[in-house]
Each structure stands twice: as C-alpha cells, then as structure tokens.
Amino acid sequence: MNTLLLRLAGPLQAWGGESKFEIRRTESFPTKSGVIGFLAAALGRRRDEPLDDLNVLKFGIRIDQPGELIQDFHTARMNDKTSYVTYRYYLSDAVFLVGLESDDKKELKNLEEALKQPVYPLFLGRRSCPPTLPIILGIRELPLFEALKQEPWLVADWRQKKDRFRLNSKLPIITDAKADSNSSVLQKDLPKSFSPFKREYEYRAISNQGYVEIKNENVETDHDPMEELR
C-alpha cells in the first residue's frame, strides 16, 4: 500500500459540519468531503463531474495542532428595511496531517502533481481559508495508519519550544473504518455530487484509532527559573 501525505494548515479553516439557517459550523478536523473537494479543485474537475475514483481512497487524519474555535459574524441585508446576522465558525491556527491510501501509486502520483499546479484555487473548507505551504509531504510506501503514525510532528519549531517542558505530545488519529466495526461511528461527509443544483452526501464509518506519542525534539529536562526573564 502507498499513502499520499498532505499538510493542511492556515490562519483559518472551516470543515463542513451541521449548518442551520444563519449558523455555519465547522468540524474539529478536516472532513472527507472537504478534502475530496480540495483534490477535485486541483484536478480541475467541475462540480457536476463524478467523484467515485476519489471517494474510494482510504482517508485518515492526524491532529497535530487542534487550533482554536472562533466565531465570526456577517450582517446581510435582504431588502431596504430588513437585515439579519449570520454566524460562522472557524478553526484558527490548526495543523492537520492528512493521508490518502491506495494500492495504485500512479494515481497518488497524479494527485501529487495536480496539487503542485492546481487548476482551481485551493482552500481549507471555505474560499476565505487559503492554505499555507508546504501542502505536499510526499508518498510513503506504507499503509495509511503507519504513515500517519510515523510522520514527524508538523507543529512549527517555535510552538514546540513553547511546550519545551512536555516530553511527548499525544496526537489523535482518525481514519475510515468498516461500517460493522464496534468502534466506528457514522459521519455524513462522503460526497456524491458537488453540483450547486443538487449536492449529495452519504454516510461513511470513521474510527478513532487512539493516539500516537510524538517526541518533542525541543524538550528541556532541566528547569531554569530565570529563562522567562531573559
């Protein structure tokens, strides 16, 4: 098996989630529909084109930096006398490791090349959320879980130094799962169509695979009480 690894990070991200009327929520990690849309944009696919070849890729994420949930609001005017407020939620300063597994290395290579020169602009869930570089980490000749488990921590050095007294960080891993698995739950984020006239999503099973402990290379085992005064 081969796994294409991506780094999804940016000032703001917003990944689907339940949205009702004027409230637009976000999940706490990238949805499969959001990442499939990300890949489809890179490939130059129109909204009404099939997604079957992308949906079959086994999908998983590792939460390297969960970020902070923030709320923004917009005032919209319906007519000259009526206006209303919409609330939108975002993840601020989050960093995710995303893996896409396939036994067809050529397919993953095609995706990698498309992401280097995307046809349409790439965004992290919403158009107002551009990604920061690097996005592409490369193809690993490993199954999905092992690739997510073995990849070094993606958090910036300054952030690791901020946690310099923490020897290890526990990073959650969430992957596709079999529907009959006792540990799986259903999430409605498998896209069948992005057509603006008829958007369709199906349920898929996901499973929390536990945590991987990543060693903090900037750890300081000796406490210096004068450090903060320098």
CB atoms closer than 10 angstroms to residue 56:
11
Q: What whole-number distance in Å separates Cα of residue 124 and Cα of residue 107?
A: 22
What is the count of structural domains for the chain?
A: 1
Q: What is the model's pLDDT at position 113?
A: 98
Does 37 map to a domain? yes
Nearest alpha carbon to residue 4 among 123, 112, 95: 112
With cut-offs at 50, 70 and 90, classify the pLDDT of residue 57: very high
Q: What is the model's pLDDT at position 206?
A: 97
Does 225 map to a domain? no
| CATH assignment of the domain containing 19 | 3.30.70.2660
Q: Which range has the worst mean pLDDT, 135-139, 149-153, 165-169, 172-176?
A: 165-169
Burial 190-213 (b: 16+ CB within 10 A, else e): bbeebeeeeeebeebbbbebeebe
Domain that holds residue 95: 2-220
User: Tens digits of per-residue pLDDT, 125-143?
Assistant: 999 999 999 999 999 999 9
Higher per-residue pLDDT: 70 or 83: 70
Does 61 map to a domain? yes
Single-letter amino acid, residue 15: W
Does 155 map to a domain? yes
pTM of this structure: 0.88
